[in-house]
A and B are shown apart, each in its own frame.
Chain A
Amino acid sequence: MAARRTTVLDWRTLLAWLCALFLLVAPPFLSAYWVGLLTQAVILGILAMSLDLLIGYTGLPSLGHAGFFGVAAYGVGVLSTTYHAGVWTSIAGGFLVGTLLAALLGLIVSHVRDVYFLMITMALGMVLWGLSFRWIPVTGGDNGISGIPRLEGLIGLPSGPVPFYYVALLVFAACMLLMMLLVRSPFGLTLQGIREHEPRMRSLGFNTWLHGYLSYVCAGAFASIAGIIWAYYNGFVSPTYLDLTASSELFLMVTLGGPATLVGPVIGAGAIVILKNVMSAYTARWLLILGIVYIVTILWAPQGLWNLGKRRSA
């Protein structure tokens, strides 16, 4: 048993390092289009990891997580176009508005669990979408906000997809490191305890409400970071960033990749970004293929790709 576990761990670690090496070295040799896709994968990877804190580690399935991502993006959009704020002000503003919103909404949602949590986060996500769509003087409604300046130029890097990619990769690496530390810290272990058996954790004297709340805020903060880079990457913000489709696609990234692994959701995000873009270039029926991939995953790898062959401790 022990031996088998080691070997299983080995191919996983090897694959993870190979991916990391590829992400670090390959982009200068790839075409601009592929660098763009990798940039998307890396940014959505941050977002998927942040949702994994909730779904995987705390056991709180959120269907409104794209809300924070979008709100932070709108923060950057509004500050850098309407108010012509500097780059650092815009970034700080986007981060603060996303995180504070998570702190506020967390007060509402962290009292409920399971399917009720799913429903209430979905409802709040829809509210945020509605706000972005209807608060026209600020958000520009359906048309969104375009004309966000390029990030590379603002922070003194040569412009182009590759420098931007490395900025995104750096942020990604920092976020991943922080989240790894978080889930291995006593705080993170408590979260996993809550996921497994909340009444027991409560009887052990843990303030489970506060833990759930803080986990929600942390997830919101990391999602905001992803939203900020996304806004700069696309150069515009629109309500589709935070609609239900975005949130559910994000949910699928986490479940496809494997919750409670951090690496898994990144793989899920990368797989979906690349599958979508590569397949849709060849066939108009790409949604069908994506659907089949989801079904196959649910049937043969219900714990996600990254957990394939791993026996989950009950």
Chain B
Amino acid sequence: MESRKATVRLKADTTHDRFANVVSGFSRTTAIAIALICAAAIISAQTGAPQTPIKIGFMVPLSGGNAQNGRDILNGFLMYLDEIGYSAGGRKIELIVEDDEAIPAVGLTKARKLVERDEVHVMAGALLSSTGYALAPYITSMKIPMVYPVVSADDLTQRRRSEWIVRTGWSGSQPNHAFGEYAYQKLGVKSVVTVALDYAFGWESVGGFERTFLAQGGRIRQKIWVPISVHDFAPYLAQIPRDVDAVYALLLGRSALQFMRQYQEFGLKGRVTLIGGGTTTDEHVLPFMGDEALGTVTALHYSAALDTPANKTFAETYRTRYKKIPSYYSESMYTGGKWLIAAINAIDGRVEDRQALVEALRRVKPEGLPRGPVELDQYGNPIENVYIRRVERVNGQLQNTVIDTFPGVSQFWTFDPARYLSEPLYAR
């Protein structure tokens, strides 16, 4: 700039005529420069905000006993973000991952960190119901849209729902309502003993099953509750009368593996049909089971063996990428991610408008999900297919073969939502 002024002055000294030329030339350059700068400024003012990345805060347990499930959820999300090249609505996506350690207070601290320090636009994640409930008041007070891909506590989209929380997963009793009817009508089961983990997820699953099963005329002989830290099922299996038609088991992780093994050792396998909630034979434990798991019938909104083009592509890609079969946890945040990105695209990336984002989250209906068609009800819970799956060995590997499908199951099953909500939540 300085040298240019000097040049101008030098030239101005020569002749009067040239001086005028130079001045006009100079002012023309200046004018163009100013115009360009202004234009640039205007463009950047218009697009400046959308040029900054969309920040997504994500939390699941990545350490402790639930780390594997948390890792699966994260894997599904990373896989989807890779597919779309980390961009949506014309903006880059920045993902911030936090470990909630499966401790509600830690989850809340991490949520505060994501919202107040990282200033994320939207959050996703959480695995345990306790964390889900602990975050809800904070999310509502901060007005941050959040996607719950897994947390299944019924009341989060029922009696204690928040307008800022959108659940793309399921509610605990949802597949079990369908399953109670199926067990009585199609499996011909008339009397059942339930063995379930003694916490909210167990109560709600068994509660849903019990309700429709009893309505059909079935009979629950006994409900056995096992502590979540259970190591040995012997005292519980010994209580099971041999003349019941079926045992309904709701377990997950290590407890599911242990149960299957001991069920066979106790001579129950082959004598008493084993049915259960979807997590009992979910793909997060299925590869570690043996023949003792064969024939178990369970209900869930997903199966890795689901025979649809969308799921085949998903399962195959996941398998290549992570060297294992996708569990329902893996699928949860693939779908959750797809959901979130669809909502961001629907509002052209203007995630600063949180109200618009949460409305879009409730409105969008992404296509081609691995688990089949999904849409949200007005309470923020998905209406989706429930699959009845039987454990079979195909090509040497165990899988949850889908043997029947209940299409478009709502969290209220066939009941009237208003009446359903006036009744108490399922408990022991």
Contacts and interface: CB of A to CB of B under 8 A. Distances in A.
Interface stretch (A11-19, A29-37, A180-188, A201-209): A29-37
Contacts of B322: none
Given A134-B198, A142-B200, A280-B99, A31 B117 contact: yes
A281 interface: yes
Nearest to A33: B117
Contacts of B228: 142
Given A33-B112, A134-B198, 10 more contacts: A37-B109, A143-B153, A143-B200, A144-B104, A144-B130, A236-B133, A238-B130, A238-B134, A240-B130, A281-B98
Contacts of B98: 280-281
A234 B63 contact: no
A33 B200 CA distance: 31
B134 A236 contact: yes
A143 B112 contact: no
Given A234-B105, A281-B98, A36 B199 contact: no
Which of A40, A235, A239 has the most chain B CB atoms closer than 10 A to its own CB? A235
A63 B104 CA distance: 21
B63 A36 contact: no
B interface secondary structure, majority? helix
Nearest to B112: A36
Interface residues of B, number: 29
A292 interface: no
Contacts of B99: 280, 284, 286
B103 interface: yes
Contacts of A235: 108, 137-138
Contacts of B198: 134
B401 interface: no
Contacts of B200: 141-143
Nearest to A230: B105
Contacts of B110: 280
A32 B109 CA distance: 11
A241 interface: yes
A147 B137 contact: yes
Interface string B327-361: 00000000000000000000000000000000000
Which of B62, B134, B199 has the most chain A CB atoms closer than 10 A to its own CB? B134
Contacts of A133: 199
B137 A146 contact: yes
Interface of B: 62-63, 98-99, 103-105, 108-110, 112-113, 116-117, 128-130, 133-134, 136-138, 153, 198-200, 228, 427-428
A133 B105 CA distance: 16
A136 B105 CA distance: 19
Nearest to B108: A234
A98 to B, nearest CB: 18
Interface string A280-310: 1100101100000000000000000000000
B109 A236 contact: no
B70 to A, nearest CB: 11
A277 interface: yes
Nearest to A150: B141
A240 B109 contact: no
A133 B225 CA distance: 13
List the 7 closest pairs (A to B, CB-CB), nearest first: A33-B117, A142-B199, A32-B116, A33-B116, A238-B104, A240-B103, A236-B134
Nearest to B131: A238
Nearest to A32: B116
Nearest to B153: A143
Nearest to A243: B103
Interface in A223-238: 234-236, 238
Contacts of A236: 104, 108, 133-134, 137
A146 B428 contact: no
B62 A284 contact: yes
Nearest to B97: A284
B104 A240 contact: yes
Interface string A232-256: 0011101111000100000000000
A141 B203 CA distance: 11
Contacts of A34: 117
A241 B133 contact: no
B374 to A, nearest CB: 25
B105 A32 contact: no
Given A146-B137, A236-B133, A141 B116 contact: no
A58 B129 CA distance: 40
A71 to B, nearest CB: 16
A142 B130 contact: yes
A34 B98 CA distance: 16
B129 A238 contact: no
Which of A241, A245, A280 has the most chain B CB atoms closer than 10 A to its own CB? A280
A236 B103 CA distance: 12
7 contacts: A136-B427, A142-B130, A142-B199, A143-B200, A144-B104, A146-B137, A277-B113
Interface string A26-48: 00000111101100100000000
A33 B228 CA distance: 34
Contact of B136 (A33, A40, A146): A146
A3 to B, nearest CB: 45
Which of A31, A238, A245 has the most chain B CB atoms closer than 10 A to its own CB? A238
Contacts of B137: 146-147, 235-236
